[in-house]
A = this chain, B = another copy of it.
Amino acid sequence: MASERIWTAALVVIGDEILSGRTQDRNVAQLATWLNVQGIRLAEVRVVADREEAIVEAVNTLRARNDYLFTTGGIGPTHDDITVDAIAAALGVGVEHHPDAMATLTRYYETRGGLTEARARMARVPVGAGLIENRVSGAPGIRIANIFIMAGVPHITAGMLDALTGTLEGGRPVVSRTIGCWVGESEVADILRATEKAHEEVAIGSYPFFRDGRTGANFVVRSADPARVDACLADLTAALRGAGREVIDDGI
Residues of A within 8 A of B (CB): 13, 16-26, 28-33, 35-36, 41-49, 54, 76-80, 112-113, 116-119, 121-122, 137, 153, 155, 174, 176, 184-187, 189-190, 192-193, 196, 203-210, 220, 222
Q: How far is the CA of A46 from the CA of B23 in the complex (A)?
A: 17
User: CB distance A16 to B205 under 8 Å?
Assistant: yes
Choose among B79, B112, B119 the residue that contacts A196 (Cβ–Cβ < 8 A). Answer: B79
User: CB distance A42 to B20 under 8 Å?
Assistant: yes
Q: Please, which residue of chain B has its CB at the minimum distance from the CB of A155?
A: B210
User: CB distance A19 to B47 under 8 Å?
Assistant: no
Highest count of chain B CB atoms <10 Å: which of A77, A203, A206: A77
User: CB distance A48 to B54 under 8 Å?
Assistant: no
- Contacts known (A19-B43, A24-B29, A25-B28); A113 close to B187, Cβ less than 8 A: yes
Choose among B36, B77, B155 the residue that contacts A21 (Cβ–Cβ < 8 A). Answer: B36
Q: Please, which residue of chain B has its CB at the minimum distance from the CB of A113?
A: B187
User: CB distance A19 to B36 under 8 Å?
Assistant: no
- Contacts known (A118-B189, A192-B79); A46 close to B46, Cβ less than 8 A: yes
User: CB distance B19 to A189 under 8 Å?
Assistant: no
> Could you list 13 examples of A-B contacts with CB < 8 Å?
A17-B207, A19-B28, A19-B45, A20-B176, A21-B42, A28-B47, A44-B54, A79-B189, A80-B206, A117-B190, A137-B210, A153-B210, A155-B210
User: CB distance A45 to B46 under 8 Å?
Assistant: yes
User: CB distance B203 to A16 under 8 Å?
Assistant: yes
Q: Please, which residue of chain B has its CB at the minimum distance from the CB of A156?
A: B210
- Which residues of chain B are near A153, meaning CB under 8 Å? 208-210
User: CB distance B77 to A185 under 8 Å?
Assistant: yes
Q: Please, which residue of chain B has its CB at the minimum distance from the CB of A209?
A: B153
User: CB distance A21 to B32 under 8 Å?
Assistant: yes
- Which residues of chain B are near A193, meaning CB under 8 Å? 78-79
